[in-house]
Structure 1
Amino acid sequence: MKNIYILFILSLCAPSAFSQQSMMLEKYRSMAVEYSHDLKAAEKNLSASIELEKAARADLKPKLSGDANFQYTGNPLELNLNLPGMDKPLGIQGRDTKYGASLTLMQPIYTGGRLLENIRMAQHQHSLATHQKEQLLSDVCFQTDIQYWNTVARQEIVRIVTDYRNSIASLTETIRERVEVSLVNPQDLLMAEVRLNDAEFQLLQVQKEFETGVMAFNSLIGLPLEKSTPMDTIVPPVNLADSAQLTLAHDRPEIKMAHDQIRMAESSLKLNDSKYKPQLYIGVDGSYSSPGYDLRADLDPNYAVYAKVSVSLFEWGKRRNEKRASNQKIGIAKDNLNQIQDKVNLEIQSARLSLSQTMGQVQLSQQSLEKAHENERQAMERYNEGEISIVEVIEAQTYRQNAEINHVQAKVSAQGQYSALIKALNLYK
């Protein structure tokens, strides 16, 4: 009953709860997510989209603006009028300086849906930024898994090559002792020493690959490159029962982003169309300027209340052309969604098939490894009895080493395919 309950909980949780997922890998995955510069940039992009949505909503509210001006005219306006009953013409002269300040309060009443569509566009961009962050998180987790298991595999290969080197060294020492008492041909010692040098060379190479792998992994999780990072000593095989539980696929962020692109294209169509609809604004303009009314020199207050209506009447087919172009962009976005869905379905099925095949390879490599160990044991016995040459013993040890390396590579390939299936099903959280 307890096991059934645990399996039920695991099926509801993120893949980090599955048994083959190392606790250290869980820790490093969290460190990579926290350290990732791409995720930090995605978080800032998400915050910016929230602010842009708030800014779009602010356009619905009245706008208050201020203005100040100063103007000096070298030859101000003069007017002389000959009026009946007056001996002298009436002269009026404008002022050479004009200055003042004004405040304007304006409220949009109807904009053809532009303001509301701007808000919807900002919401779609916010949704797009959210799904972009989700995609980056999945990529970072997947990259961490692959880098971690590759580094563990390199460490295990170092141990395998070290054991192989030690076996060759032990065999070489045994042959040297037999050569000294003239029991075997000195040529056997030369062959063993050459093989020992090859093993030493191979060990240096795999150690270099392991150390560079650790540095790459440390760079990924934000640790100093030279730090010795603890990790698993062997690559565990993927548990068949756990992999069978990965059946429920969540919507991939790529699909969600494609839907966002469609909605943004639809909003763009409505925004373009709103330009050709009537625009209605009302406002109040208050000023305090000189010259005041009746051409007085002092500053005087004044005000104006207005309503403004504008509508596009003839644009030489521009509205129709823009609408057609926007409809084509919507069609492109829908085609992109269909393409992404096909790609995701293919990725999921390919990941399942690849995982199944690699798990079969793990079983085959395990069987080969057991036979290689037995072959090496029998070869040593027959060599000690003088039935075979040293060449066959060295070949048996080489087969055993290759079988061990193939087994490690099969296991790390299975872990990589398991992580690929997790990513394909969007189960990283």
Structure 2
Amino acid sequence: MKKLFCIIGLTCAVWSLPAQETLSLDSCRALALANNKELLISHEKINAAHYQQKAAFTNFLPKISAAGGYMRTSRELSLLSDAQKSTLSGLGTSLGTPLQEAAQIISQIYPELSGPLSALGQSLTGALNNAGSAVVDAFRTDTRNMYAGALTLTQPLYMGGKIRAYNKITKYAEALARQQHDSGMQEVILSTDQAYWQVVSLANKKKLAEGYLKLLQKLESDIEKMKAEGIATKADVLSVKVKVNEAEMTLTKVDDGLTLSRMLLCQLCGLDLSSTFTLADEKEEDLSPAAVPTHDIDINAVYENRPEIRSLELANHIYQQKIKLTRADYLPSIALIGGYMATNPSVFNSFEKKFKGMWNVGVTVSLPIWHWGEGMYKVKSAKSEARIAQYQLQDAKEKIELQVNQTAFQVNEAAKKLTMAEKNLEKANENLRYATLGFEEGVIPASNVLEAHTAWLSAQSEKIDAQIDVKLTEVYLKKAMGQLAIGN
């Protein structure tokens, strides 16, 4: 978050400058970090990994789900057969003949009861028929329109360690995304620094080329006058003119290279390619890079700072958890379940056209028994992948140690080259001064003066290259040590 606030603050400060603005190295870094699309993508990857971790944690918590449905059928379920329905509906009729025979016997014994018994028989027949029909209707299910709903709760109790392992994997994945983002930030800073110092180098070489051209033009003017006085020859004049043309061509090349380098820096910083700006270090007459200490480098501290090492360590942790995740697929799993289910028609009080339901609670256990060694093979495969990650980590540490030592050597070599370039420039300045005085006194030919000018230009250019090389090797060393950041 501190890095983010720093970037935002620097970006606002830069955009608040006028059109012809002066950009420092940190300003360019801040703009590049704020406008780099790869960093924006990696930032979204961090967000995605963060939410995946939150989603993984929810597996520890109970899950509640609801389900419902409706079904229309062409026929209803029947608890009675057609014969049973017919028998029950005609129950009175079936019993009518025995009842009439019984009534006739009773009427023969008691003639006075023949009338009432006949009426009673007819009444019983109708009543029994109605009662049988009522029983048939009572056994109707009317299941052509069926509704059902269920609410279920599931709480994992033991999943073989799968939930815990997956939760750790997502935590490591989020941390890994952050490390990759930091690594991308360092790459962007490195690219920005290279483009920045390239512009500074070419800007200084442009000033050098302009100064050299002015010296040659002055020499051309002087030698024209000397030719007019008969002191110099036409060959001297032509040789100076050739050098002037070469200086103009060099200035044109440097100017074109500077324009292209500015365009590259604009692209990295997210600025319009036609933007006009001045870099703070362009105004410096002498860059005077400070010496960078390269002794007593703690390689263990380097390992802690390098995002690549931290990323590989996190990847190693992830593969270790993947072993547990793979093994968990072949261990018992236990879960607590509970819920409520309701149906219409309901069968708790015969068949009723009402929603009625019941609660339920239970435990489910799943135990893999035999898979022909599939689990063992998969676990061994996961262990091999974990060992690969360990070897990659060891290899990266060895390469980083070599990179740090090589970069430290390059820093020392760049400092030596700068010292030599400064000495060469002192000699070239002295040589040019003597050659100019001798030429003005007429004791040194024009060719010697041109050689002195060429040597001076070469010495100046080498000094600029050496100063820029010191700056860049300092950046490379910080990158190798994992210390490259805004303000550092």
TM-score, normalized by the shorter chain, greater than 0.5: yes
Corresponding residue for 1:3? none
- Residue 268 in 1 paired to residue 322 in 2? yes
Q: What CA deviation, in whole Å up to 9, does each residue of 1:278-335 have, x standing for no partner?
A: 1111122212322211343332223322221111111111101101100100110000
The answer to whether structure 1 residue 237 and structure 2 residue 285 are counterparts is: no
- Map of 1:95 onto structure 2: 143
Q: How does 1:9-408 map to 2 (within 5 A)?
A: 24-81=24-81, 87-88=87-88, 95-231=143-279, 232-233=281-282, 234=284, 236-240=287-291, 242-244=292-294, 247-248=297-298, 249-250=301-302, 251=304, 252-293=306-347, 294-408=350-464
Aligned length: 406
Report the AA paired with residue 33 of structure 1: L
Q: How big is the shift at 1:394? A: 1.4
Q: Quick check: 89-98 or 137-146, which moved more?
A: 89-98
Task: Quote the offset at 1:76 in angstroms.
Answer: 4.2
The answer as to whether partners of 1:255 and 1:337 remain within 8 angstroms in 2 is: yes
Task: Judge conservation of contact 1:268–1:326 (CA < 8 Å) in 2.
Answer: yes
CA distance, structure 1, for counterparts of residue 459 and residue 362 of structure 2: 88
Are 1:383 and 1:389, in contact at CA under 8 Å, matched by a contact in 2? yes
Aligned residues of 1:237 and 1:415 also touching (Cα < 8 A): no
* Contact 1:237 1:414 survives alignment (8 Å): no
Structure 2: where are the runs of 5+ without partners?
1-21, 90-135
Paired amino acid for 2:376: R
CA distance in 1 between counterparts of 2:456 and 2:56 reads 68
CA–CA separation in structure 1 for the residues paired with 2:23 and 2:87: 108
What secondary structure, in the 3-state scheme, does the structure 2 residue paired with 1:236 have? coil
Once the two structures are TM-superposed, the CA of residue 216 in structure 1 deviates from its matched residue by: 1.4
State the structure with more CA Rg.
2
Q: Secondary structure at the match of 1:33?
A: helix
1:246 deviates by 7.9
| Structure 2 counterpart SS, 1:183 | coil
8 Å Cα contact 1:284-1:304 kept in structure 2: yes
CA distance in 2, matches of 1:72, 1:358: 87
CA distance in 2, matches of 1:55, 1:103: 22
Cα deviations across residues 9-53 of structure 1 (Å, max 9, x unaligned)? xxxxxxxxxxxxx99223332333333322222222222222111
Q: 1:30 to 1:254 in 2, by over 3 A?
A: same
Gaps of 5+ in 1: 1-21
Structure 1 residue 121, shift from structure 2 partner: 0.7
Native 8 Å contact 1:33 1:137 kept in 2: yes
Whether the aligned pair in 1 keeps the contact of 2:183 and 2:307 (CA below 8 Å) is yes
Separation in structure 1 between the aligned mates of residue 406 and residue 30 of structure 2, nearest angstrom: 27
The aligned amino acid for 1:103 is: L
Q: Secondary structure at the match of 1:184?
A: coil
Contact 1:82 1:88 in 2 (8 A): no
TM superposition shift of 1:414: 1.2
Deviations 1:379-406 (A, max 9, x none): 2223233334322221211111111111
TM-score (norm 1): 0.88
Deviations 1:257-281 (A, max 9, x none): 1111111001111111111111111
Q: Give identity over the alignment, percent.
A: 22
